[in-house]
Structure 1
Amino acid sequence: MIDRQDAAHLMVAAARGHLSGSRPYYFTSANGDVIAQTRVNAETAGLFREADQIFADGQPLVFASRLLCRVQLPERVATTDLFHDVARLAEREGTTFYLLGSTEAENRSAVAGMRARYPGLRIVGNCHGYLAGEALEKKLDEINALAPDILWLGLGVPREQIFVRDFASRLSNVGVIKTSGGLFDHLAGKVRRAPLWVQKAGFEWLWRVLMEPRRLFWRYFTTSPQAIYAILRYSK
């Protein structure tokens, strides 16, 4: 159970401690939607069990841990915040990034924004997340040759977890793979974060539904009851 700053230090240390030629460390995150998906889909649950580290990316999970669990989560570790914590450390430590995911336009915009915000950050490469066949094979070889310390992988659940299962062994020069969901859309400014008070109150999910009702309403309407049941049933 670690907070955001400890999570950032852990990622940089894991990348530094990775042995070239071995499988990258696999870090991912869980929120209510993930809990709902893993409850109803055994394959997805198995993909998450393979992770070396799972961060709690959901304020309701923090609240639930304080009410229901013997060990409490110190705070939410949202990937959209964690990225900046790690980027600041990476500037000082020389840790390198590769950003893989989202559309070509959003990925490019995210990288441009991060180069401007963190001029000392070494982003050794980037690519959109819609590759298949020979193009994907070539991209895997390219990423491995560039040997980034941290690969930020934004494909969404469970595509990014499936990617790790299928291709992590091909990326033995990568230190850490961090699954990132919609991170690049946030970095590019396409999706606006909820105000801080909304985040702390645990209602960022509602903010997202109001921002994208057609895409997210049915998803949260169907998954939220599953997540609530799982949290109440299995918290210790």
Structure 2
Amino acid sequence: MLERRANSVGRAATASIPRITLGGLRIAVLNLEQTADFMIDAVFPHRRVTRPIYLTSANGEVLARCSTEPMTDRLFRSADLINADGQPLVAVSRLKSPMRLPERVATTDLFHVVARKAEEANLSFYMFGADEAENAIAVANVRKMYPKLRIVGHSHGYLRGDALRAKVDEINDLAPDYLWVALGVPYEQAFVAEYTSRLTKVGVIKTSGGLFNFLSGSRARAPRWMQDAGLEWVWRIWLEPRRLFWRYFTTNPRALYLLLNRSRSANAD
């Protein structure tokens, strides 16, 4: 994990957070509320560091891809903190480690907890990702849900080259406390790796996957019982069989193997 070891700023900012290794990745042992509190604390002046704190999330698909895609693996290992956005990770932690994950930290749930806390603390969001229509509807819905939340800007994620670099500089000038990046794996992680050095005025970057699809209402979440049983992937296949069947057919067995064979409770870097 050389990328993590070289990142002294991220190591110092997250040193007090316990971690366990699940499926080959080091996962934060935090519940939803604790993760949100960490994100809130990280942006206050006495905690703000010289570059954004970078949080991402892992599920079974991510574990499988990291085991077969070296670049994806490097991108995830460079994160300051990785949350468990998958119920199977929680279940396996209870079988394989005395230090158990308290619950799944789904980004779709985390967003709302952080938004409520940010409203109270007068902290700001920037929402980057999805297509133009999806992004606009998601932002409009968030503004309705959290009328006191300061959303200082938003943009779709279909930018390249000079247009993307100009947008990154614009985001930095706006200096949001939280930048939510929803481009999908591994594009959002690659975005963070490439542009963190230009986002020095941002407090926290959180990769967000399909978050904006849920915020816009274009995609429905699985029933709670399916989420709790670790069957959200079945729900997603039912909604998008052509796109997702083969993905989960190939990644789920590998993820299960990794969880059972590459998990341990060690908290060392």
TM norm. shorter chain > 0.5: yes
Match of 1:104 among 120, 129, 132: 132
Give the CA deviation at 1:235: 1.3
1:18 equivalent in structure 2: 48
Give the CA deviation at 1:30: 0.3
SS of 1:174 mapped into structure 2:
coil
Q: For residue 173 of structure 1, what is the amino acid of its counterpart?
A: K
Give the CA deviation at 1:41: 1.4
Distance 1:186 1:15 in 2: 26
Match of 1:80 among 81, 85, 108: 108
1:162 aligns with 2:190: yes
Q: For residue 131 of structure 1, what is the amino acid of its counterpart?
A: L
Distance 1:232 1:197 in 2: 24
Distance 1:229 1:37 in 2: 13
1:174 aligns with 2:202: yes
1:200 equivalent in structure 2: 228
1:56 aligns with 2:89: no
Distance 2:61 2:107 in 1: 15
The alignment's TM-score, normalised by the length of structure 2, stands at: 0.86
Distance 1:138 1:2 in 2: 36
1:213 aligns with 2:241: yes
Distance 1:41 1:69 in 2: 26
1:31 aligns with 2:98: no
Give the CA deviation at 1:15: 2.2
1:119 equivalent in structure 2: 147
Q: Deviations over 1:158-215 (max 9, x none)?
A: 0011111111100000000000000000100011001111111111111111111111
More helix by share: 1
The alignment's TM-score, normalised by the length of structure 1, stands at: 0.97
Q: For residue 115 of structure 1, what is the amino acid of its counterpart?
A: R
Q: Cα RMSD over matched residues?
A: 0.8
Distance 1:133 1:177 in 2: 21
Q: Deviations over 1:7-29 (max 9, x none)?
A: 0111111122223xx22111000
Distance 2:199 2:106 in 1: 25
1:91 equivalent in structure 2: 119
Aligned pair count reads 234
More moved, 60-69 vs 26-35: 60-69
Match of 1:8 among 36, 46, 59: 36
Q: Deviations over 1:91-143 (max 9, x none)?
A: 00011000000010000000000000100100000000110112111101110
1:223 equivalent in structure 2: 251
1:132 equivalent in structure 2: 160
